[in-house]
Structure 1
């Protein structure tokens, strides 16, 4: 794969500060050109990439961090070769059947850095080409070498003029590209002068981390590129200056946050959430001197055990941790992560990747989900939702906003909301029971008008089944299993009747696309909960679920007022309650509730409820 040299739709902005451009090759005598090349070689030997990055520079590894994830594919031979040149090493001939045509690739690179849009992959390419400039001075004709340097300087100046303070380009280009010029090409005056402006860019980007981090989360494939850039900036500053404190405190805090998010969004195969990557393609990020291991330096106390768990290592022996609770997880970061600005969430029962996780994006009109049953991906894609009122299709009128969240040792809970035409609101709940290895995904369709309380609502949601699993329905009851080499997850449509024989207003069935379609209908309001069980030992137990009676002053509530459910697998039981109408005191299984949502675990031995989560909008309603 070669560098993309597609034509730009808009030319770079004109600028002509003479101090920025490299001097034209014709203005330098041959002896001076040779002298400059020798200086560059000597500097590269004294301040080599290995002296700055340590063992991460071997094979050019440090300059390939995050590239595969950003590309969504394996790294091409040209980028591998350039990363090796950037680390003062000769490219391995086995990377390509033919030797690289450096002149041709350099001309393509010059055009590459002059085209729009300016994206993070292009920025990372610019950093690598800049770091490779000392090595390229031995293989390129002098005029072409200077043209490349001019293109890099022009690209750097364009980003300084255009990129906003929180843009990742401020970090990758404004900060790192400038620092790389000042480090690798300090014998060129126009490059040496980049250090001051680059430090200002680093300060500006990190001071705006409350916006910089969400900007990265809005472009998940770029997160690793930014984390790699931040690490290299820190290494360059610590190796090329005598001052002890050169790396800004705000940049250190940003590194901690980004490294935690990167670890939380790392899938069991080593890739990033919402992607399908082969582990061999991202090994530059995962090896002993790779990005994830090195990024723990931003906060060793908490990040080292978290990343060890993410990489399936114990902190000492380097072996996969036991499938149960990690004995050393007391020092781990929180396992619930949510950024409402970027509309991204990661819900982990534990940092141990063997325990599964939920990754969620809700920036679009439809939610995107990656849900793992242990190491196996069970759901992956958009949760397409359709609603009709009295047979009239409705559409969303707003994006998703989060309305409630809660986390503790037992549960992670996130609630979202979206307005629709027809004067209705769709509320969606994600609840992860951490120890029980269960998940609930539930939708409430609520009418905003009392006059429409009798209108019929038809609801459906497509559950995107991952390619790694197949659908395995039970023959007589309505549970559906997702299976890889063995059964990985059990899905229970709680609003549906348990037995397939007989009528039911709700259903969960395979569709023509190979996904699952959950449907329900009601009048005025409805509740469509889906219970997912990821604990294989419960799959063979006797189980059942029931819709419970909810009473309001000795009156049985209708299904558009409030509903309750009981789920049982062997001796383990759970109870759910959801209010759909006016907030009132109601009774379910002998328990009085004044809440919008309630979930509990029932201890059959003590005959007591263990409250898991209670959602109460009383304060909002009083306001």
Structure 2
């Protein structure tokens, strides 16, 4: 596997720039001769974009629906700049009128200055490509020296990305690869451009060879650049065949298949991308007919990806008849390296979905109950030990990930100051349409003479702007609704009723967000059960903390906890050990596990196991 992980910078300032005069001398052509060659080149059918990508239905899309624009808005959070959009239209259709209102010489000077001083950042990937694709059309709009200056900057950018960027990086594919082949395709009579074919091919093949590392790099920053990378990968397929005379084999395309699956899983029902700030209007070219998602599905695996894409967008249902007719991708995706997860009960958006990003200090959630989004933002936590605040001391680390037909389960851990460890559980109960979010606050036990730590815990979830919160008057339940009731939230660590002794509260704070406060000694467990199944909303519901026994004694809450949830005829049992891998009993079931969840049948007392998490290193989940 080819990597260049020791090369961190991709700034073209560290590369020798090819001077315009050197390029001109190398060509031994006058400016008039060059323009004639460009005009002759552009007149060829092979210079049309639909020649590169004939299967992408280019003739069936509107001029402003340009394949070069795919993924830009999702990656940057804002619409395509007017100038870059005009360059893309010029490159796609030769539409000179698109740039007539722009000051192209000033923009070209700004580009050259930008690339010389700030290096390469994701936000200007498409700007650089736009200039490269459109450059031959600009011989009538730029003076000779400025045109050569732009070309020399683009060449130096490709050289910098190829030689300095890590092999698995986005820059290696987009700039080291696609940019090089575009210049060689558009300007094959320029020796400096023609010489880019081999290094560009090397960059592309190297990126595909990195496979999982390339996928993880594309998923960084909460996966907002996945569409941008997928779009480049699709364009590269045609460029490799037409320019480098190399057809990509099945193995490299598997990376794009996985990337397309991630793109579909990270797509909201309205077409926007998870964790991206881009509006619905700005990403229209990604999700419309003939757009990025549909094109990727048809190109890479129409039988599996197309139904997944359509189901993700709410265009079709994936359950029932469709589910057994086609082999859909797995509906849960997890990247430990990128610290990103998409947990879907089914591809059908009506079943809801959970997106999780925990790469930086901010732990972000997006929770859907069918089409509507309920939670959208950071999961904030405050912890005090003996009255003094403690703080996070490192990144989140995955300690368990499991998926089967019953649940998707993810468990993470983070070190805090004061000898505190925070363990976080996220579980999607698939068929039952429930979500379980829980934090275990664990302290080092110390000697028997140490006074047990007094813990105070506050957790906040940012609620989507369209959702209203309605706390029940007598119980700690909270109803979450828009025009309809969408979910019921139950704090399993608190008593059901608001009256009587309490170890915390669960309410709507002044900012309109969910807030859970709890108190405990030595170890603390805070859990919320969300029920999304509308058929159960009118059913009686309750939850109870269960007695946990160990060697003929009742276990204290800081050692282990068990809960039972009942809504109508549906019942679930949950158990969490907070200290030790010890044989204990709850609800008549003997448990030797770190965590357990099962469905309870009151008629025969049988508990159907859904997931068991064992912290024994010699035993797998």
Q: Which TM-score applies when normalising by structure 1?
A: 0.91
Matched, 1:365 2:366: no
CA RMSD of aligned residues (A): 2.5
Q: CA deviation at 1:591?
A: 1.1
2:550 to 544, 549, 552: 552
Q: Secondary structure of 2:158's match? A: helix
> Does the CA contact (< 8 Å) of 1:497 and 1:504 recur in 2?
yes
Q: CA deviation at 1:99?
A: 2.0
Return closer, same or farther for 1:106/1:17 CA change in 2, 3 Å cut-off.
Answer: closer
Counterpart residue number, 1:200:
202
> Does the CA contact (< 8 Å) of 1:457 and 1:526 recur in 2?
yes
> Does the CA contact (< 8 Å) of 1:21 and 1:150 recur in 2?
no
CA distance in 1, matches of 2:603, 2:357: 40
Q: CA deviation at 1:136?
A: 1.9
Return closer, same or farther for 1:199/1:600 CA change in 2, 3 Å cut-off.
Answer: same
User: Where do residues 366-445 of structure 1 align in structure 2 (5 Å cutoff)?
Assistant: 366-445=362-441
Q: Secondary structure of 2:207's match? A: helix
Q: CA deviation at 1:432?
A: 0.4
CA distance in 1, matches of 2:151, 2:389: 58
Return closer, same or farther for 1:298/1:505 CA change in 2, 3 Å cut-off.
Answer: same
User: Where do residues 20-31 of structure 1 align in structure 2 (5 Å cutoff)?
Assistant: 22-23=23-24, 28-31=29-32
Counterpart residue number, 1:232:
235
Q: CA deviation at 1:592?
A: 1.1
> Does the CA contact (< 8 Å) of 2:544 and 2:563 recur in 1?
yes
Counterpart residue number, 1:254:
255
Counterpart residue number, 2:335:
339
Counterpart residue number, 1:178:
180
Counterpart residue number, 1:68:
73
CA distance in 2, matches of 1:590, 1:191: 75
User: Where do residues 500-579 of structure 1 align in structure 2 (5 Å cutoff)?
Assistant: 500-579=498-577
CA distance in 2, matches of 1:354, 1:104: 50
CA distance in 1, matches of 2:496, 2:119: 54
CA distance in 1, matches of 2:602, 2:326: 30
> Does the CA contact (< 8 Å) of 1:21 and 1:153 recur in 2?
no
CA distance in 2, matches of 1:613, 1:337: 18
Counterpart residue number, 1:3:
none
> Does the CA contact (< 8 Å) of 1:56 and 1:290 recur in 2?
no
Q: CA deviation at 1:174?
A: 0.5
User: Where do residues 96-495 of structure 1 align in structure 2 (5 Å cutoff)?
Assistant: 99-219=101-221, 220-240=223-243, 246-296=247-297, 297-313=299-315, 320-321=316-317, 326-328=322-324, 330-451=326-447, 452=450, 454-495=452-493
Q: Which TM-score applies when normalising by structure 2?
A: 0.91
Q: Deviations over 1:400-438 (max 9, x none)?
A: 101111110110001111112222211110010011110
Aligned length, in residue pairs: 602
Q: Which runs of 5+ in 2 are unaligned?
A: 1-10
Q: Deviations over 1:110-135 (max 9, x none)?
A: 22332314112312221121111222
Q: Which runs of 5+ in 1 are unaligned?
A: 1-9, 314-319
Q: CA deviation at 1:14?
A: 4.6
Q: CA deviation at 1:453?
A: 6.6
Q: CA deviation at 1:328?
A: 4.5
Q: Secondary structure of 1:618's match? A: coil
Counterpart residue number, 2:91:
86
Q: Secondary structure of 2:110's match? A: helix
Q: CA deviation at 1:341?
A: 0.9
CA distance in 1, matches of 2:264, 2:351: 15
Return closer, same or farther for 1:26/1:166 CA change in 2, 3 Å cut-off.
Answer: closer
Counterpart residue number, 1:47:
47
CA distance in 2, matches of 1:573, 1:522: 27
Return closer, same or farther for 1:24/1:357 CA change in 2, 3 Å cut-off.
Answer: farther
